[in-house]
Amino acid sequence: MMPRLSMNTTFLEACKGRRTSHVPVWFMRQAGRYLPEYQRVRSPYSFLELCKRPDLCVEVSLQPVDILHVDAAILFSDILIPMEAMGLELEFSEGKGPVFPNPVRDYRAAAALRIPDPEEDMPFVLETIRLLREALAVPLIGFSGAPFTLATYIIEGGSSRNFLHTKKMMYQEPALFQEILRKISDCTVRYLAAQVRAGAQVLQLFDTWAGALAPPDYTAFALPWVRAVLAGLRQQTDVPLIYFANNGATLLPETSRLDADVLGIDWRTPLEMAINAVNQAENPKAVQGNLDPLALFLPEKQLAERVTALLDAGQQAKGYIFNLGHGIIPETDPAQVKRVVDIVHSYQGTQP
């Protein structure tokens, strides 16, 4: 694999709140089922098999960089890989998504959770990162799920609509719930720190299900562990840290004060409102987001107007990175995604 030349650092600069020559753009789930190129690589393998093949993970991680010309690559993996490494059986089922056949719902199951060694237990992830750094001319983002989000999967046994088992445990057995999150947090810090040592240049913490919590419950049960992960990483690395709380409009008073460099914003929150909240914090941070993924189905003129409006709003942030408010869905036309990249890159505004 030949190394690529002249690193594009606009994404890194925006993460740090610095002025950039253009607004950087990347997309959550930018490597995935909407790309025919991805489907060709993926088709002979199960999803977990793909995640554990560094050569294939490198190939699909590079595809959106080469096809779309985005300003950052994100490691191709899954947020639940570390949960399997903690000793849990993990399956991916077509139509059902991730399944943990033996959910963690009592002290015995919690005690059995181990804190994995990333080099020994998830070497395929770290090898993917090392190989990607040799090939990329844009920064590489490593990632993990946030503790609350990961806990929901292993307590529920998979995805959930109402998080019955998770919230019952939170309310009725809070000590058990906190012990599970403590172990997940320890695992997450070690895993992300290992990603940096392997070559990741930015880290994103995905809190996909944070918005399922009422603000007081988020503050009591989830926020302390987000803080613990960020603090643990600050002790070991100086790479930019991104925190993304999906459906997190009501959580902005707390998340805007986190010790992260960038706050990801979902599409349910007006970008101006989010930036205003972030700018009022003691240490303003950069903002990332927040086009509705389904807006990629808009006609070309309306799509351009929607994207430009976000770019205009982003000029008020300390730093601004264009992204979606969540991941690209499989039915999306890749030409529409490329159209957004071109609009962002041709935008005449610059970072303040």
Q: Which residues are catalytic?
A: 29, 33, 42, 78, 153
Whether residue 30 contacts residue 104, with contact meaning beta carbons closer than 8 Å, is answered with no
Phi, psi of 306 (to 5 degrees): -65, -45
What span, in angstroms and rounded, lies between the C-alpha atoms of 246 and 52?
A: 27
Let me know: does 255 contact 243? Beta carbons within 8 Å: yes
Of 127, 135, 117, 144, nearest to 198 by C-alpha is 127
Q: How far is CA 333 from CA 32, 33, 306, in A?
A: 12, 11, 17
Q: Quick count: other Cβ atoms within 10 Å of Cβ 163?
A: 19
Q: Which residues pair with 202 in a beta bridge?
A: 141
Tokens at residue 299, please? 């006609």
- The span from the CA of 221 to the CA of 215, in Å, is 10
Q: What stretch of H or E contains 165?
A: helix 164-172
177-209 per-residue burial string, b: 16 or more CB within 10 A, e: under 16? bbebbbbbbbbbbbbbbbbbebbbbbbbbbbbb
CA dihedral over 107, 121, 236, 222, signed as positive or negative: negative
The tokens describing 35, both together, are 């790309």
One-letter amino acid of 146: A
Closest CA to 262 of 303, 290, 235: 290
